[in-house]
Amino acid sequence: MDTFVSRTRKGPIDWATDEQREPGRNKIEEKCNQDIIKNTVKEEEDDYFTGFLEPIPWQKIEAEGLDCDYALLFPKQEADKLYTQLEEEVVYLTGDKTKIQVFGKVYSVPRKLATYGDTGLTYTYSGLSHQASPWTPTLRYIRDAVTKATGHAFNFVLINRYKDGHDHMGEHRDDERELDPLCPIASVSLGAPRDFVFRHQEARRKQHRRQINPVKLELAHGSLLLMNSPTNTHWYHSLPVRKRVITPRINLTFRRILQDGKK
């Protein structure tokens, strides 16, 4: 099962080292070589059902103020199936709900959005409130798998669909008031693997005292990234444009929203 770290290209990019991701993994990386290594969920599915009964091999990703855990939650065959089902089930927002205003101009967000969750929950995104649609069977299944793997219960999921590498998300923090600050955000990826970048808040201006390197990783098909407190208070994250990516990725970020936490 040594198939977690992947790297789709080389270059000047300062990816998280293997030691950061998982001490002692260097040998595997050498074996994989640096080129287009797909990630690598096992193809054989003999332990398809036992997967959830055994503890998931997590990789710890740490930097100062950053605390994440990464794992392959779904084997390829199952991830494929979930992806297909979501493509059939999920209904994305349309019209004005996909528009955002920045510096007086209105833009369509460069991706598709959907919100699902417990009855009555709303999620405020860039000034707009969205009512959560009721859980679909597939979303409920994924939610329960995430809960089993993490021990955390979630009442809401924000779905972002990136149709190809031109769809992206700019740097931001998930710092909405309505989020339970102590509950991690669980990010499930299905479809095309995409690069994901964390940057420390103090590294966002030219003039900063200390240099704090960004932390970069690739989110694989079927993977789960847990962003633990206090990651979201110190680190911004983004999903940068990757022009070579031509297939879609669906990202599900499970959250716990506090009913009373509104402004």
Partner DNA sequence: ATACGGCCACACAG
Partner DNA sequence: GCTGTGTGGCCGTA
Residues of the binding site for substrate? 103-105, 123-125, 175
Residues in Cβ contact with 129 at an 8 Å cutoff, skipping those fewer than 6 apart: 122, 123
The verdict on 37 binding DNA (CB under 7 A) reads no
**Parallel, antiparallel, or unpaired for β 66-72 and 112-117?**
unpaired
The verdict on 168 binding DNA (CB under 7 A) reads yes
For DNA, give the closer residue by CB, 1 or 13.
13
CB of 12 to DNA, least distance (A): 4
The verdict on 110 binding DNA (CB under 7 A) reads yes
Per-residue string for binding with DNA, 169-208, x by CB under 7 A?
xxxx-x-x------------------x-x-x---xxxx--
CB 234 within 8 A of CB 66: yes
The verdict on 261 binding DNA (CB under 7 A) reads no
Rounded Cα gap, residues 3 and 162, in angstroms: 25
Per-residue three-class SS string for 191-218: ECCEEEEEEEHHHCCCCCCCCCCCEEEE
Cα dihedral 80, 135, 129, 180 sign: negative
The verdict on 33 binding DNA (CB under 7 A) reads no
Annotated binding site: 103-105, 123-125, 160, 162, 172, 175, 237, 249, 253, 255
Secondary structure of residue 167 in the 3-state scheme: coil
Rounded Cα gap, residues 80 and 254, in angstroms: 20
Determine the size of the site formed for DNA (CB under 7 A): 34
Per-residue tokens: 112: 């598709």
CB of 236 to DNA, least distance (A): 9
The verdict on 214 binding DNA (CB under 7 A) reads yes
User: What residues make contact with DNA under the rule CB under 7 A?
Assistant: 10-13, 100, 102-103, 105, 107, 109-110, 125-126, 165, 168-172, 174, 176, 195, 197, 199, 203-206, 214, 240-244
